[in-house]
Amino acid sequence: MMYTCLSPSMLITVKVSSEQSVNFLEEMASSASPSATAAAVMAVLVAAAVCLHGAAAQLCEDYYADTCPDAYDIVKQVLIEAHESDTRIYASLLRLHFHDCFVQGCDGSLLLDSVPGMESEKDSRPNNGSARGFPVVDDVKAALEDACPGVVSCADILAIAAEISVELSGGPSWGVLLGRLDSKTSNFAASQNLPAPFDNLTTLQGKFSAVGLHDVDLVALSGGHTFGRVQCANVAFPPADRLYNFSGTGMPDPTLDSAYAAFLSQRCPRNGDRTSLNDLDPTTPDTFDNHYYTNIEMNRGFLISDQELKSSAEAQGTTAPIVDQFATSQEAFFASFAQSMINMGNIQPLTDPSQGEVRINCRKVN
């Protein structure tokens, strides 16, 4: 089998700026033969290409080219069929990948059910009662096991499903890097600290920075809220109350557009049903576009964490200009979102066979 993947031992460690690379080449050219100089040029170009491609460990786009060549199409077909009866499923699957990657890396740990001695991430506060789409992941896994048993990991299923879900909703496509293994453990404690809908900007930046992501990633990945649904608990109840008692003031959030606040108050009345669903984007609720940012520009972000990207004092000069750019240019948003999804997919990829496995059933270790 031949993969174009690079293992850690094959990577050339060249963490230099383009200017430093040029200086390095100039020095080589002055002291080496033409053939040696050419080799040095090629080494730097290869290293740069690896860095730009976002490869980490053994991740690469064609990881399953020989072992399960139809994997992408199989996942896509299952998702299309699921969407026929559940228009929310694409947004839900994107969220599963996000919640998986932010807890001990993109390793499928979110998919494990609780067993004695190990509490599932599914049961933590950020996931319990809101993370959904697990039966569809089971269906995808079953279809892949029929086609190529024991080959495609559950962690990679989440990565592929996220890309397909975005593309089928009108968003960008990107080359999904593959080759992750599945973890044998879940991390309930760490999942309690996922980015939350009531987090302020400083907290959000800290949580993203902790996994190697930065302001552009934060703003771009938050754009995943451009489709899907959200419960009233995240806008009308503490600690996320923006309608009735924002930050203990007894008043609505002052950054929330008054007309939108009145609309949401009808949808989520005081002491009403916490689980009632609302569109994250009231303009195009099932389409992946840049309306998330145009809504924020009009103070119509649904969540505290959404509006913080633009209205927080700390956002000025940091995240607010990025929101402005994405609101103006959907093309810029799509390009950044695709790159940020690749960046997120590279959070601590599990590729060591002594630490991970390809689960046969995504809900339990083999």
139 is in an annotated binding site: no
Which of the listed ranges 5-19, 49-63, 286-300 does the model predict with the highest average pLDDT?
Answer: 286-300
Q: Judge: domain 70-192, CATH 1.10.520.10.
A: yes
225 is in an annotated binding site: yes
The answer, yes or no, to whether residue 64 has pLDDT greater than 50, is: yes
Q: What pTM did the predictor assign?
A: 0.85
Residues of the chain with CATH 1.10.420.10: 201-343
Q: Which residue has the higher pLDDT, 363 or 22?
A: 363
Task: Check the CA dihedral 203-208-210-216 and report its sign.
Answer: negative
Q: Which two tokens stand for residue 278?
A: 């609302």
Catalytic residue selected from 53, 99, 214, 291 = 99
Whether 97 is a known active-site residue: answer no
What 241-245 contacts at long range (C-beta under 8 Å, 24+ apart), as own/partner pairs, is 242/304, 243/268, 243/270, 244/270
The answer, yes or no, to whether residue 243 has pLDDT greater than 50, is: yes
Tens-place pLDDT, residues 183-232: 999 999 999 999 999 999 999 999 999 999 999 999 999 999 999 999 99
Tens-place pLDDT, residues 83-131: 999 999 999 999 999 999 999 999 999 999 999 999 999 999 999 999 9
The reported pLDDT for the residue numbered 364 is 97
Contact status, residue 337 vs residue 131, Cβ threshold 8 Å: no
Q: Which two tokens stand for residue 130?
A: 């809101």
Residues of the chain with CATH 1.10.520.10: 70-192
The reported pLDDT for the residue numbered 58 is 75
281 is in an annotated binding site: yes
Tens-place pLDDT, residues 182-192: 999 999 999 99
Tens-place pLDDT, residues 172-183: 999 999 999 999
Distance CA(337)–CA(219), nearest Å, equals 9
The reported pLDDT for the residue numbered 246 is 95
What band does 15 get if pLDDT is binned at 50, 70 and 90?
very low
The answer, yes or no, to whether residue 155 has pLDDT greater than 60, is: yes
The answer, yes or no, to whether residue 2 has pLDDT greater than 90, is: no
The answer, yes or no, to whether residue 260 has pLDDT greater than 70, is: yes
What band does 163 get if pLDDT is binned at 50, 70 and 90?
very high
The answer, yes or no, to whether residue 329 has pLDDT greater than 50, is: yes
Q: Which residue has the higher pLDDT, 253 or 44?
A: 253
The reported pLDDT for the residue numbered 9 is 32
195 is in an annotated binding site: yes
226 is in an annotated binding site: yes
Please name the fold of domain 201-343. Peroxidase; domain 2 (1.10.420)
Q: What is the mean pLDDT of the chain?
A: 88
